[in-house]
Structure 1
Amino acid sequence: MTALGKHRTLFVTPTSNAFRLATPSLGLVRALQRAGHTVAFVKPVGDPATPVGEEDLSVHFARSLCNLTVPDPISLSLAEEMIRSDNISSLLEDIVALVEKVRGDAEIVVVEGILPFEDHNLIGDLDLAMGRSLAAEVIAVVSGQSGDLATIVDTVRDAAMHVKTAVRPLAGIMVPRLPDGVAAKDIAAALEKADLKVPVISASPVAKGHNARRLCDVVKDLGCSIRYKGGLDTARVEDVVVAARQPEHLVQLFKPGTLVVTPGDRSDVIMATALAQSSGMPIAGLMLTCGVPLSPKLDSFLGPRFSDLSILETKDQTFDVATKLAAMDRRVRVGDDRRMEELMDNTADHIDLAVLHLNDARDMSVHMTPPMFRHRLIQDASRAKASIVLPEGDEPRTLRAAIICTEKKIAHCILLAKPEDVEAVAERHGILLPSDLEIIDPASIRDKYIEPMVEMRKKKGLTSLQAEAQLEDTVVLGTMMLAAGDVQGLVSGAVHTTASTVRPALQLIKTAPGNSIVSSVFFMLMPDQVLVYGDCAINPDPDAEQLAEIAMQAADSAKAFGILPKVAMISYSTGTSGVGADVDKVREATAIVKAKCPDLIVDGPIQYDAATVESVNRQKAPGSPLDGHANVFIFPDLNTGNTTYKAVQRSADVVSIGPMLQGLRKPVNDLSRGALVDDIVYTIALTAIQSAAQAEAE
């Protein structure tokens, strides 16, 4: 499976809906590009504020101003529908897929979160879930508009608490819209005083003119008609003057970027505005209200003399126009490249990339999160193009899983069953069979494998009649197909016992070179990361040598699926604190693993809490290479392993994928008889990837 490698994912998340995230997230992109980093950008889910049919603001400017290839976001309505239908795991997989699609060779991916909105409560926790699923470094955007350091500190404290359950702690904050007199050092000092170890990545003031709306946006929002276009395409509104007084009092209020609002019959105000424009004052425009048009005589006088002045007309009353202008959305719009360029540059100018330690030589490999794991599982299985035989071909869950795998091209599934039986099951359950799903009648191929099976088992005295009888069992027949190289893997167990699946594999497939036993692992899809548990299905009471072999097999399996193994040899005792045969076995097994695999991170005997919790690890196992971050757990016996995996699975509502068998020459995998359709799909994918890894090794 594709390794995670060394890359950075920076997740920019809001702390309020006071402003969009386009400026801070793309300002960060701009700063990274300036510093010479290769950067990718993605916004996984569209904002509630994006008008229907309009391009997402951040995506638009990432494409037009940062010259990045950016996919369209998942629509907010679709995201909400997936959450509403309890399909958030698929949504998170789709989000991971979007991020991986744009990552390519980029050193850093900047991911923009979603603004919270009162009318969209379902997405309230999606930001945190995205950050966790991507194992990202979370950057919180905190408004500095108030200039109140105490308020900023409280907001940062809340944000730090909000993400503290994520794989990574809060990586830093960005504070836009700071008033004059407040600087990054002031915020950093206030955070330090409050004992908040959160770096200040940027603290940027609002530069003059950055909030100026385009006059053309005003026209669009208010539905004005245009009497004279003038400089409409370039004019910006920095201030609004409602002309209710005589011109001698108004002229003091005229400034660059002023929009003058007055009834259409106030010729004195109209003339004063026109004169101000002609004298060099860059008036943004003149808006005539109350449905009163420009008088014909004034119109004929102004037309040829003041062509640079934009004159607009509206039927609304002056008070209503002033109210609408005050309430108008001041945020940057799609197409306003100049303003967005200024905002991005202003943010980038105030970013301190040093606090992110981007040039450190440290290992930035991330935890494998469940959505990452599921996404990469399907992607890598599809690349393997393996043929997987399913001996329980007429079992409904297996049939549904085979159809999904066929449609998604996860693997070429072969159902061992009478075609008429499969068709009957499909009709009974309302399943539509795809034309390219292969179904093989066991009776049509059984004779082909009698002699090869006799040859393989001749030392055991197997006769042709005995082989023919055993091949009546579709699991045995499927195993012979695998042994003969006609398929690359086998998945069974939806209705058969583990013994029924494993025994033929041990007899006909046998162990891979360098392996003396077959063991199993489960992939436990915890909320924040994927853990590997072994052995929880095969070996009742392994001795020290066997336990060491299970640990090495499990570490290899973790690597094959993109997980950097940190192996904990689990016991009821940590280090030298306990004595007894059970602890001694684990201690001896750990020593064997260290001797045979000196580069493997492993420790034991160690208790589960000491292996997984930093504070407990420091107390119980100081100096342990696991540092409380174990991700591969080797249990001392089947009783402990099976009990633990089922307790975690059921109590914490955790998805477990497996058991995946290890140590065989070719991949055979067992299913739980309570397996869901998705469980079978993922097990087929696991098997396909195993087959590719074994083929590559050979």
Structure 2
Amino acid sequence: MTRSVYVTGIGRGDGRQVVELGVMELLTRQVDRVGVFRPLMHEGPDRLFELLRARYRLSQDPATVYGLGYDEAARLQAEQGTDELVSQLVDRFHAVAREYEFVLVLGSDYADTQLPAELNLNARLANEFGASVLPVVGGLDQSADSVVAEVHNAHRAYADEGCYILAMIANRVAPDAVKIAVDQLGSRLPVPVYLLPEEPSLSAPTVAQVVQKLQADVLLGDDAGLARNVMHFVFGGAMLPAFLPALTPGCLVVTPGDRADLIIGSLAAHSAGAPSIAGVLLTLDERPGPDIVALAERLAPGTPVIAVPGGSFPTAAELFSLEGKLTAATPRKAETALGLFELHVDTGELTDRLSVARSGRVTPMMFEHELIERARSGRRHVVLPEGTEERILRAAEVLLRRNVCDLTLLGDPGAIRKRAGELGVNLGLDVEDHGSGAIARVVDPQTSPLRENFAELYAKLRAHKGMTVELAHDVVADVSYFGTLMVQEGLADGMVSGAVHSTAATIRPAFEIIKTSPGASIVSSVFFMCLADKVLVYGDCAVNPDPDAEQLADIAIQAATTAAQFGVEPRVAMLSYSTGTSGSGADVDKVRRATELVRERRPDLAVEGPIQYDAAVDPAVAATKLPGSAVAGQATVLIFPDLNTGNNTYKAVQRSAGAIAVGPVLQGLRKPVNDLSRGALVQDIVNTVAITAIQAQGDAVIS
């Protein structure tokens, strides 16, 4: 029977989308096919479903998501009664439930619905659907006592309707009221209670949403600038010296378009990082001349400058009524929302109460979710040498929001803050109290007190190569060497680099400083190849051009260990152009000898070789070529005989089969250092950092 959870509330303004997004995140970690059902809907686009569909790659037909429109439901209820309304909605729910393992039900929003006793209707629908209920209470602008009372009242209301209540959530609670409310609630209710503090950036509109609301013209600004959150509005009327101190981080400057001094002054302050603004909004249909526009673009590239025909007062009235929304066009808000949910909700406890049985299939998304969850479960500290690179900064924001790991960014602090400000990225660098969340810091190798100590250490390590302290003083100022030394000295647990540096620049310091693990003859790499229904491990596709039999055996053993560490049961296929004893020649003999060495060193491993790729992964081919093999047809770890074969195969599978390739993941080092492709996307960087953090958790196992 399909299980379902009904996320509902007791009134407007509870910010329930944060909870709905968080629950979907939990479900997609466990279940391959999750459906969505919204019993009652307003006219117009459903922004939350579009976000869920884009983020979680839902294939569900949007037409099946919805029950009835609010107007139609109100008319049906008035003319034929509540029973008929409920009956039709139940039929439509079950049409979805038949197609999915789990259904997330999005309750009504209490916004101009014209439905009497709306809470009772939500409760009855949940009961008729057989869904557990997750009520959400809004705590905005309420005292701790009021929040506690609302939680109790909501629990009683749904319990009195006979609902199975999964947990209670109070959202948008004033941060200083959270602890008080938690202490007052204690264990007074028979279900868990979670309190989420108000997060201003979630309710802040983006510049793009301001543009849409005001039908503004965009004079300057790129997509990244338009995605910035507008945290405040600063209205310009004073002269520049009095105006500049009023600027605040993330503010939108609103000024008549003929005030060139305020336009240029605001952008110059942004460029200097004091502070980073969201953009500039020009009123009165006044536009600066081309010289001012050109100067503005040079001062703060990408920063939005937008214009409206109205005056400041009517513009202000519209701005103050605008609230940010979670949409498919605001992925950064989604990361913020998930980070908030995961930091304040016991996701393990909630998953258990959802009683979600894990799917037998492992989809790419499930594997990526597992990486994030495992990294978060034992938070580590990762150093990122490329601190001013845009993709690194965007990935850092995601990692911090999701509480994946603590970070150190290397580089000039002023340059990093300036670049983060230009991108609208919030790393919380100037926030002292992060609660229990992940934190980031910036270290400049050029000026760090650690430089002298690192120079002495590196000189000692490389003395046999003629290294002196004076020479080492320059070497360790390089971000890759500095980051590697941080890992070596236990000041960070792992390092990820390579977005703009070459593979050699990333791993050479690791070879010189961290060196190989005991028992490992070489450093090698694997890719996690996430196919539609399983994860395979490919090695070595990035480091060793032509390993000999000894090295190939070492790669296989390392890859099997890495696979097991990440939840893939290792069944090792030593690949060749020949299967079993059907072929001969130096290349086949190398693989055959490597297979024998693996069996000698790790008799507990299931290994087969030489074996062709099709016999390794296709049960039908395996039954013909190697019947009775414990590996053939079901291999999970595939070891290629050389880099040429491995690199081309992983790319062919990635491009032709639509697989997600996570890696390369380096193995064989004493401590984790991982390399990025210079074409890495933000999500690739997030995955690689999560993998590095997990490797650091099991450092004693892999070293």
TM-score grouping bracket, smaller chain normalisation: 0.5 to 0.7
Whether 1:549 and 2:574 are equivalent positions in the alignment is: no
Q: Would you say the 8 A contact 2:37–2:64 is kept in 1? A: no
Q: Which residue of 1 aligns with 2:417?
A: 423
Q: Which residue of 2 aligns with 1:443?
A: 446
Q: Which residue of 2 aligns with 1:656?
A: 661
Q: Which residue of 2 aligns with 1:569?
A: 574
Structure 2: which 5+ runs fail to align?
A: 5-29, 67-73, 88-123, 133-357, 430-438
Q: How does 1:615-654 map to 2 (within 5 A)?
A: 615-654=620-659
Whether 1:385 and 2:353 are equivalent positions in the alignment is: no
Q: How does 1:189-588 map to 2 (within 5 A)?
A: 222-223=79-80, 335=127, 366=360, 368-435=362-429, 436-445=439-448, 446-588=451-593
| Post-superposition offset of 1:578 | 1.1
In 1, Cα distance between the equivalents of 2:78 and 2:633?
Answer: 56
| Post-superposition offset of 1:406 | 1.3
In 1, Cα distance between the equivalents of 2:457 and 2:539?
Answer: 34
| Post-superposition offset of 1:444 | 2.4
SS of alignment partner, residue 46 of structure 1: strand
Alignment equivalent of 1:687, drawn from 681, 692, 703: 692
Whether 1:78 and 2:62 are equivalent positions in the alignment is: no
Q: Would you say the 8 A contact 2:32–2:361 is kept in 1? A: no
Q: Which residue of 1 aligns with 2:599?
A: 594
| Post-superposition offset of 1:453 | 1.4
| Post-superposition offset of 1:82 | 3.3
Residue type at the aligned position of 2:476: L
Q: Would you say the 8 A contact 2:36–2:65 is kept in 1? A: no
SS of alignment partner, residue 562 of structure 1: coil
| Post-superposition offset of 1:365 | 10
Q: How does 1:103-114 map to 2 (within 5 A)?
A: none
Go from structure 1 to structure 2 and tell me whether the alpha carbon gap of 1:542 and 1:52 turns closer, same or farther (over 3 Å shift): same
Go from structure 1 to structure 2 and tell me whether the alpha carbon gap of 1:609 and 1:79 turns closer, same or farther (over 3 Å shift): farther
CA deviation string 1:535-555 (max 9, x = no partner): 011111111111011001000
RMSD: 3.4
In 1, Cα distance between the equivalents of 2:508 and 2:491?
Answer: 20
Q: How does 1:2-21 map to 2 (within 5 A)?
A: none
CA deviation string 1:599-638 (max 9, x = no partner): 2111111111111111111112222212412111100011
| Post-superposition offset of 1:120 | 5.2
SS of alignment partner, residue 45 of structure 1: strand
In 1, Cα distance between the equivalents of 2:32 and 2:649?
Answer: 39
Go from structure 1 to structure 2 and tell me whether the alpha carbon gap of 1:434 and 1:603 turns closer, same or farther (over 3 Å shift): same
Go from structure 1 to structure 2 and tell me whether the alpha carbon gap of 1:615 and 1:424 turns closer, same or farther (over 3 Å shift): same
Q: Would you say the 8 A contact 1:511–1:665 is kept in 2? A: yes
In 1, Cα distance between the equivalents of 2:31 and 2:391?
Answer: 39
Whether 1:87 and 2:55 are equivalent positions in the alignment is: yes
Structure 1: which 5+ runs fail to align?
A: 1-9, 14-39, 54-74, 93-113, 122-216, 226-231, 237-331, 341-363
Q: Would you say the 8 A contact 1:46–1:76 is kept in 2? A: no
Aligned length: 394
CA deviation string 1:169-212 (max 9, x = no partner): xxxxxxxxxxxxxxxxxxxxxxxxxxxxxxxxxxxxxxxxxxxx
SS of alignment partner, residue 486 of structure 1: coil
In 2, Cα distance between the equivalents of 1:664 and 1:378?
Answer: 22
| Post-superposition offset of 1:335 | 4.8
CA deviation string 1:361-409 (max 9, x = no partner): xxx9945432221111001111221111111111111111112111111
Whether 1:47 and 2:50 are equivalent positions in the alignment is: no
Go from structure 1 to structure 2 and tell me whether the alpha carbon gap of 1:697 and 1:548 turns closer, same or farther (over 3 Å shift): closer
CA deviation string 1:488-515 (max 9, x = no partner): 0011111111111111101100111111
Q: Which residue of 2 aligns with 1:300?
A: none
Q: Would you say the 8 A contact 1:522–1:657 is kept in 2? A: yes
SS of alignment partner, residue 449 of structure 1: helix
In 2, Cα distance between the equivalents of 1:377 and 1:80?
Answer: 25
Go from structure 1 to structure 2 and tell me whether the alpha carbon gap of 1:513 and 1:82 turns closer, same or farther (over 3 Å shift): same
SS of alignment partner, residue 644 of structure 2: helix
Q: Would you say the 8 A contact 2:573–2:632 is kept in 1? A: no
Give me the TM-score of the superposition, normalised by structure 1. Answer: 0.52
In 2, Cα distance between the equivalents of 1:387 and 1:408?
Answer: 14
In 1, Cα distance between the equivalents of 2:608 and 2:522?
Answer: 22
Go from structure 1 to structure 2 and tell me whether the alpha carbon gap of 1:463 and 1:11 turns closer, same or farther (over 3 Å shift): farther
Residue type at the aligned position of 2:412: K
Go from structure 1 to structure 2 and tell me whether the alpha carbon gap of 1:367 and 1:578 turns closer, same or farther (over 3 Å shift): farther
Go from structure 1 to structure 2 and tell me whether the alpha carbon gap of 1:224 and 1:399 turns closer, same or farther (over 3 Å shift): closer
| Post-superposition offset of 1:516 | 1.3
In 2, Cα distance between the equivalents of 1:555 and 1:455?
Answer: 35
In 2, Cα distance between the equivalents of 1:458 and 1:549?
Answer: 29
| Post-superposition offset of 1:587 | 0.8
The 10-residue stretch of structure 1 (364-373 or 484-493) with the greater mean CA deviation from structure 2: 364-373
Go from structure 1 to structure 2 and tell me whether the alpha carbon gap of 1:419 and 1:626 turns closer, same or farther (over 3 Å shift): same
CA deviation string 1:473-532 (max 9, x = no partner): 110111111111111001111111111111110110011111111100011111111111
In 2, Cα distance between the equivalents of 1:595 and 1:478?
Answer: 38
SS of alignment partner, residue 699 of structure 2: helix
Give me the TM-score of the superposition, normalised by structure 2. Answer: 0.52
Go from structure 1 to structure 2 and tell me whether the alpha carbon gap of 1:81 and 1:469 turns closer, same or farther (over 3 Å shift): closer
| Post-superposition offset of 1:697 | 6.5
SS of alignment partner, residue 630 of structure 1: coil
Q: Which residue of 2 aligns with 1:158?
A: none
In 1, Cα distance between the equivalents of 2:509 and 2:486?
Answer: 12
In 2, Cα distance between the equivalents of 1:444 and 1:505?
Answer: 22
Q: Would you say the 8 A contact 1:566–1:602 is kept in 2? A: yes
Q: Between Structure 1 and Structure 2, whose CA radius of gyration is higher?
A: 1
Residue type at the aligned position of 1:444: T
Q: Would you say the 8 A contact 2:32–2:359 is kept in 1? A: no
Q: Would you say the 8 A contact 1:403–1:437 is kept in 2? A: no
| Post-superposition offset of 1:224 | 6.4
Residue type at the aligned position of 1:478: G
| Post-superposition offset of 1:12 | 8.4
Q: Would you say the 8 A contact 1:569–1:634 is kept in 2? A: yes
Residue type at the aligned position of 1:503: R
Residue type at the aligned position of 1:437: A
